[in-house]
Chains A and B, each alone.
Chain A
Amino acid sequence: MIEVQNLHKHFGKVTAVDGLSLKAQNGSITGLLGPNGAGKTTTLRTLYGLQKPDQGQAFIDGVDVSQDIVSAAANMGVFPDSIGLYDRLTTREHLEFYGEMHGFSGEQLNSAIKRTQDYFDIEDLLDRKCKGFSHGQQMKVALSRALIHGPQNLILDEPTNGLDVMSIRMLRELLRRLRDEGKCILFSSHVMAEVSALCDHIYIMAEGKVVAEGTPEQLCQQAGKESLEDAFVTLIGTDEGIAL
């Protein structure tokens, strides 16, 4: 479970997050939808402990991130907004390295790598150096990195950015499967179609605040609109910075 309580963060005079609270349940996909600059990335970075909030707290399975980032990180898989692979290392070497970062070794490490292969087919990428990988291939490695330790919680920052249709389909299937396994998934997006196709629960963000939340049906009711798309526009007040 992922929880954020009354989060505040500003950079100089700009307020990035302004009293935001959210909760992502196990066995559910939670979406954070908002235009660029709404504070989505800042919120997520606070969750994985790389940005200190001015006020408020973030919890991973009840562990306060600012108190014990190491324990929190052990139960969290992260797909940050930068993929950041090492050009000169192979996929297998990446997975070995990040497995070791979780404290795995020997047989435990091998089975962890096998488990990620179960999620998607990276057989042909395993012993290739990452230099020159396509965006879709890079994403597979980055997702394997996030899942190597079988985390209960998965946080993804704009995971569909720059992906081709095949990769997006693959990602959707993966996230649904993880949800069905009882994992807690939180992802951010500025693409409406993504969020409406996947999410069980949606937070709509604008200017650092949650402007609406609920299941897709609840959001439609709240806005008094038939389609989710119209509901979004009504709730945010504009469709600027939101992609269909």
Chain B
Amino acid sequence: MSQLNKKSLNRVKAIFKKEIKDSMRDRRALMMAMLPALLAPILMTFMFHMIAKTRISSDELTVQIIGQQNAPDLIGFLKDQDKEIKFEDYQGIPKQDIQSEKIKVVLEIPDDYAEKFSKSEPASVYLHSDNSLDKSKAVVRRLNRLIQGYAANIGSMRLMVRGVNPAISRAVIIEDRDYSTDASRAGQILAGLQMFILMAAFFGSAPTAIDTTAGERERKSLEPLLVHPLSSLQIMLGKYFTVVSFGLLATIISVVMTAIALDFVSLKALGVDPKLTFGMQLNIILMLVPMALFAASMQMLTCLFAKSFKEAQSYLGMVSFIPMATVIATMVGGAKSADWMFNVPILGQQQLLTNVFRGEGMDMANFATASGVTLLLTAVIVIVLTRLLRSERVVYGA
């Protein structure tokens, strides 16, 4: 490989400049490259925001009530215990109105309630709802718990009045500690946001990776370029840096957009509320620079073997799937974070990213490992690319 002095660097720069100019003029490809980075974080965050919102609105519940006057004490207790519950007097046939989704939940207190209650007999109340609706389920569950609590209270008092220790009636107590829903949903949210940040480099550099390799060959401009007095390394570096810069640009956009989007919403209701501070954003961009370098080299290598623009596009679809598969594998496969993961490009960056998102910061040793491995592999690929550029197979497809 020839040494790079100032004069030969000028030619690398000239190729870079020309490729950037050429790519910037291809508006459609540019949009294709940057749109995912720009929009995915917004859409993703908005989606989670909507999920969070439906959970909050289920808290502001309205319960239709029949026979309120039969149990003023119970109603008083419910209102006292849960300030969010609103009761509305209701007259009608619960079954019909619930099935036509006019109302969600009806609490019916029958006329014989007061009589049974005063005789210390079990007094029935009825909860009407459609249990297949998630929102109703949450309301019913809350009312259920409250009324159980009321019943237990009254029961205890009755026992005490009769000189019996109320605890005797409680053989088993269940203490419900549910971590599952919120925790796993929080994990999914983080994984989703991370996936788009990781993929941004791949989306961003794909069109240029195609255009500077398979595209150059298809429009037959590679041969005229190669007859000029410059080395394969100069040409390859000029092209490579172009591809990398689009990948980096997309990465920066996606990180900043994610941070902005997260600033606008609160996901607290989902049990997670990630915010990316400026320092975290810098950390993330820094850790993804090696990955962007790696992505560009991989994509160019893939495209160099493609016979046409179209073929290159479909190959790249598969390459871009790698980061997605990585995230899904660790998320769904439930693979625990392990030290060896930092030795694998993309997977290593994903692990670093997860740590920063969780607010654990970036471990410098892990960062060095992941970056070192990724950069080493990238250098090897760039050397292979340089070797291949002038091969007859690449130039003439022979």
Contact = CB atoms under 8 A, between A and B. Distances in A.
Given A89-B22, A97-B14, A78 B220 contact: no
Contacts of B398: 11
A44 to B, nearest CB: 10
Contacts of B228: 73, 98, 101-102
Given A11-B398, A88-B26, A103-B10, A52 B224 contact: no
Contact of A85 (B221, B222, B229): B221
B345 to A, nearest CB: 33
Nearest to B215: A86
A29 interface: no
Contacts of B220: 82-84
Contacts of A73: 227-230
Contact of B229 (A87, A97, A101): A101
Contacts of A72: 229
Interface string B217-235: 0011111111111110000
B390 interface: yes
Interface of B is mostly: helix
Interface string B180-212: 000000000000000000000000000000000
B101 to A, nearest CB: 56
A45 B226 CA distance: 11
B392 A52 contact: yes
Contacts of A69: 229
A50 B14 contact: no
Contact of A103 (B11, B18, B22, B26): B11
Contacts of B310: none
A156 to B, nearest CB: 12
Nearest to A97: B18
Interface string A67-85: 0011111101010101111
A58 interface: no
B395 interface: yes
B223 A70 contact: no
Nearest to B230: A101
Nearest to B223: A80
B229 A103 contact: yes
B223 A88 contact: no
* Most A-side CB within 10 Å, residue of B10, B221, B222, B228: B228
B21 A102 contact: no
Given A93-B21, A100-B11, A105-B10, A86 B221 contact: yes
Interface size range on A against B: 20 to 34
B219 A87 contact: yes
A84 B11 contact: no
Nearest to B13: A100
B227 A50 contact: yes
Contacts of B396: 45, 50-51
B7 interface: yes
Interface in A152-206: none
B336 interface: no
B25 interface: yes
B229 A84 contact: no
A71 B230 CA distance: 9
Interface residues on B, range: 20 to 34
B221 A84 contact: yes
A74 B226 CA distance: 12
A78 B26 CA distance: 28
B25 A82 contact: no
Contacts of B230: 70, 73, 101
A89 B211 CA distance: 14
A112 interface: no
A84 B22 contact: no
Interface in A86-112: 86-89, 93, 97-98, 100-103, 105
Given A50-B392, A89-B21, A100-B14, A84 B227 contact: no
A50 B235 CA distance: 15
Contacts of A232: none
Contacts of B224: 78, 80, 82-84, 142, 145
B227 A80 contact: yes
Nearest to A81: B223
A48 interface: yes
Nearest to B18: A97
A18 to B, nearest CB: 18
A86 B228 CA distance: 16
Q: Which of the listed residues B222, B226, B227, B229 has the most CB atoms from chain A within 10 Å of its own CB?
A: B227
A85 B230 CA distance: 19
Interface string A103-132: 101000000000000000000000000000
A97 B227 CA distance: 14
A101 B11 contact: yes
B26 to A, nearest CB: 6
A72 B230 CA distance: 11
Interface centre among A50, A83, A85 (most CB of B within 10 A): A50
Contacts of A84: 219-225
A80 B219 CA distance: 13
Contacts of B229: 69-74, 101-103
Contacts of A52: 392
A50 B390 contact: yes
Top 6 closest pairs, chain A to chain B, by CB: A82-B220, A84-B221, A100-B14, A84-B220, A73-B229, A101-B228
Given A93-B18, A93-B21, 4 more contacts: A51-B392, A78-B224, A80-B224, A97-B14
6 contacts: A73-B228, A85-B221, A93-B18, A101-B14, A101-B15, A101-B225
